[in-house]
Amino acid sequence: MFSASDFRKGLKVQIDGDPYIMTDFEFSKPGKGQALYRCRLRNLITGNAFERTFRSNDKLEKAALEERTMQYLYAQGDEYVFMDNTSYEQLEIAKAQLGNDVYFLMDNMDVEVLLFNGRPIGVTLPNFVNLVVTQADPWVKGDTSGSDTKPVTVETGFVLQVPPFVEEGDKIQIDTRTGQYVTRVKE
Amino acid sequence: MIDVSGLQLRAVFIQALRSFFIGRGYLEVDTPLRIPAPAPELHIQPFASEDWYLQTSPELCMKRLLAAGIPKIFQICKCFRKGERGGRHLPEFTMLEWYAAGRNYLDLMDDCEALLRFVGQALGRGSVLKVGGGQLDLAGSWERLSVAEAFARYAPRSVDEALADDMFDEDMVVHIEPHLGRACPTFLYDYPAPLGALARRKKSDSTLAERFELYINGLELANGFSELTDPIEQRRRFEKDLEGMAARGLKPGPMPESFLRDLPAMPEAAGIALGVDRLAMIFADGAEIDRVVAFVPEEL
């Protein structure tokens, strides 16, 4: 259990059976009044957020969360299979739950899987991945159309904007947190 | 991280606070930080120092000086309150308090206006304060809003309903405070009598205490009131707060007997406590409290 004096940004708690993260926290004490803890909490499964004000004798349960390093093995239909690097235990995560992350998963990539009561609820990828461009319009030298970027498709099917000099077959680095182009990778 | 500009600003403006009071004939005093009995207040927890305490406010010692016949006094000192830490709170913070005989809470509001204008001039800011993306005019007349009006205007229920539902503090923090002191500073005044433990009741309405809080940019800066001078009533209020502490499982502190003994000699007076770090935050454009002190506890 966490008592109100333990509350802080980033704390992970459990309310009505769901895991929440405290995204905002403010200690307040109106003139001569009691200590109040204003919190904003985001449901780690649904993403829904709400604000609640707690008093100093209020308590919140600790969320039964666990983070494990796992390796991405393969996709089977809409299920993505991961393996625990130490126990070799395997588990599946649905494509919908992974969102845009499916575009940055490479075979044998290590990721951090967040589990709530043994159930995977989130995946943290490496911040950067290198992917090969599979489709790009050729760069017309002297192009005066004025556009600074052009769309390309990478090997996983992800489409993003890149500088005009990037060509088919190039390997590029992408920031998995934003989905944005970082640089061209020379190999 | 030490913010040099924040500390420079703080130094200049503490000098300005001193000049203001010295210029108006106030005597600067320096009372002990370590005392046998702080004023019993339900929601303020003192730090113990052996079997004494670190002061939560210099209030009791300063009132004893009023009782001893010094009519106008001020003090800039450290105060300590357990468990108070956040973007606007430090467990050790700097307080400015001033007390004057023969004055009331309305006079203190006038003092606040004059003091902040003086400090603004001393810092070369003129009368317009830029804070939190907005602008505040210190020169014009400041907003004076009664607690009852504030509830009617901003809260989902009346002040009486809030008291009955035990939601006064929540409504204050969530619904009222964010609106206060936006275009100009706001005095929130006439608190329900039970919320002014050391304040005098209003003669025209004994359900109210002659107490106010000063707000700028949603931040509470100062708490002032006409002083209660009746030792029997004061003892009764302290006893009530001590009982409240015991009911909450807190260890009730000792009764401040020497203060109660001197209280009959105290003249009619008004006194106010202003958070110096808070005021520095305002003049540092709404910065967090961490930026206007040399070190916060986590850095020590």
Structural domains of chain A ordered from first start? 2-62 (2.30.30.30), 65-124 (2.40.50.140), 128-184 (2.40.50.140)
Measure CA B177 to chain center: 15
Q: Which of B83, B87, B172 sits opposite A30 (nearest CB)?
A: B172
Spatial distance between the Cα atoms of B117 and B98, rounded to a whole number of angstroms: 17
Which residues, including other chains, have CB under 8 Å from residue B163's CB and lie 6 or more apart? B192, B194
Burial B262-285 (b: 16+ CB within 10 A, else e): bbeebeebbbbbbbbbbbbbbbbe
DSSP alpha helix (H) spans, chain B = 4-23, 59-67, 105-122, 147-154, 159-164, 168-171, 231-247, 257-262, 276-283
Taking the model in full, what pTM does it have?
Answer: 0.83
Q: Which residues of A touch B180 (CB under 8 A)?
A: none
Spatial distance between the Cα atoms of B214 and B117, rounded to a whole number of angstroms: 14
Q: Which residue has the tokens 């309310």?
A: A15
Q: Reduce the DSSP state of residue A104 to 3 states and report it.
A: helix
Asked if B87 and A26 come within 8 Å (Cβ–Cβ), the reply is yes
Measure CA B69 to chain center: 23
Q: Which of A26, A27, A36 sits opposite B170 (nearest CB)?
A: A36
Q: What string of pLDDT tens digits covers the 300 residues of chain B?
A: 678 888 898 999 899 999 999 999 999 999 999 999 999 999 999 999 999 999 999 999 999 999 999 999 999 999 999 999 999 999 999 999 999 999 999 999 999 999 999 999 999 888 888 888 889 999 989 999 999 999 999 999 999 999 999 999 999 999 999 999 999 999 999 999 999 989 999 999 999 999 999 999 999 999 999 999 999 999 999 999 999 999 988 889 999 999 999 999 999 999 999 999 999 999 888 788 998 999 999 999
Spatial distance between the Cα atoms of A40 and A26, rounded to a whole number of angstroms: 9
Helix axes B276-283, B4-23, angle to 10 degrees: 120
Query: Is-contact B29 B77, C-beta < 8 A?
Result: no
Strand partners, A53: A38
Q: Which of B87, B173, B196 sits opposite A30 (nearest CB)?
A: B173
User: A15 pLDDT band (50/70/90 cuts)?
Assistant: very high
- The token pair at A162 is 């890149």
Query: Is-contact B274 B280, C-beta < 8 A?
Result: no
Query: Is-contact A56 A46, C-beta < 8 A?
Result: no
Q: Reduce the DSSP state of residue A145 to 3 states and report it.
A: coil
Asked if A32 and B44 come within 8 Å (Cβ–Cβ), the reply is yes
Size of interface A-B (CB pairs under 8 A): 52
Which is more confident, B26 or A136? Answer: B26
Angle at B137 between CA B133 and CA B138, to 5 degrees: 125
- What single-letter amino acid sits at B270? A
Query: Is-contact B138 B118, C-beta < 8 A?
Result: no
